[in-house]
Amino acid sequence: MSFDDFHKVNDTKLLEEVSKICSSFEVNAEQIKEMTSYFIQQMEIGLANNNNNEGTINGNKAGLAMIPSYVTSKPNGTEEGLFMAAVLGGMNFRICSVQLNGDHTFDIKQAKTRIPDYLLEGTDATSDDLFGFLARRTSAFINKFHSDIMKPDTPLKLGFTFSYPVDQESLNSGTLIRWTKGLNIPDTVGKDVVQLYQEQLTIVGLNMVNVVALTNDTIGTFLSLCYAQGSTIDGQVSGEISEPVIGCIFGTGTNGCYMEKIENIKKLPDYIRERLIHEGKTEMCINIEWGSFDNDDLVLPTTKYDIDIDKKYAKNGGQLFEKRVSGMFLGEILRNVLVDLHSKGLILTQFRKHEQLPHRLKTPFQLSSEVLARIEIDDSSTLRETELSFLQSLRLPTTLAERRAIQSLVRVISRRSAYLASVPISAILIKTNALNKKYHGEVTVGYDGSIIELYPGFKSMMRQALAMGPIGPEGERKTHFVHSKDSGSAGGALCALVA
Ligand code: GLC
Residue 234: what pLDDT?
Answer: 46
Q: Is the CB of 165 under 6 A from ligand 1?
A: yes
Cβ 197 vs Cβ 123: under 8 Å: no
> In whole angstroms, what is the distance from residue 236 CA to residue 232 CA?
5
Q: Is the pLDDT reported for residue 322 higher than 50?
A: yes
Compute, in angstroms, the gap from residue 469 CA to the centroid of ligand 1: 24
CA distances from 389 to 251, 420, 453 (A): 21, 27, 21
Rounded Cα–Cα distance for residues 230 and 467 (Å): 27
| Reported pTM | 0.92
Q: Is 448 in the pocket of ligand 1 (CB under 6 A)?
A: no
pLDDT bracket for residue 242 (50, 70, 90): confident
Cβ(216) – ligand 1 distance below 6 Å: yes
208 has a pLDDT exceeding 60: yes
Residues 1-13, mean pLDDT to the nearest whole number:
72
Question: Quick check: CB of 218 below 6 Å from ligand 1?
Answer: yes
Q: Please report, as a single letter, which amino acid is at residue 102.
A: G
Q: Which of 64, 94, 249, 451 to mutate to test the pocket of ligand 1 (most atoms within 8 A of CB)?
A: 249
pLDDT at 428 over 90: yes
Dist. CA 305 → ligand 1 center (Å)? 22
Asked if residue 241 has pLDDT above 90, the reply is no
Phi first, then psi: give them for residue 192, nearest 5 degrees: -80, 115
Catalytic residues: 163, 178, 217
In ligand 1, which atom is closest to the CA atom of 178?
8
**Any atom of ligand 1 within 6 Å of the Cβ of 378:** no
The chain-wide mean pLDDT, for the chain, equals 91
57 versus 439: which is more confidently predicted? 439
- Res 383 pLDDT > 90: yes
Residue 326 Cβ < 6 Å to ligand 1: no
Q: How far is the CA of 147 from the centre of ligand 1 (A)?
A: 33
User: What pLDDT does residue 438 have?
Assistant: 74
Q: The dihedral of CA 219, 269, 42, 330: what is its sign?
A: positive
Atom of ligand 1 nearest to the CA of 217: 10
Q: Of all residues in the chain, what percent carry a pLDDT higher than 70?
A: 93
- Percentage of residues in the chain having pLDDT higher than 90: 75
Taking residues 358-368, report their average pLDDT: 90
> Cα of 158 to ligand 1 centre, how many Å?
20
Assess whether pLDDT exceeds 80 at residue 238: no
pLDDT surpassing 50 at residue 59? no
CB of 327 within 6 A of ligand 1: the answer is: no
Res 409: pLDDT: 98
CB within 8 A of 461, min separation 6: which ones? 414, 415, 418, 419
Residue 392: CB partners within 8 Å, gap ≥ 6?
none
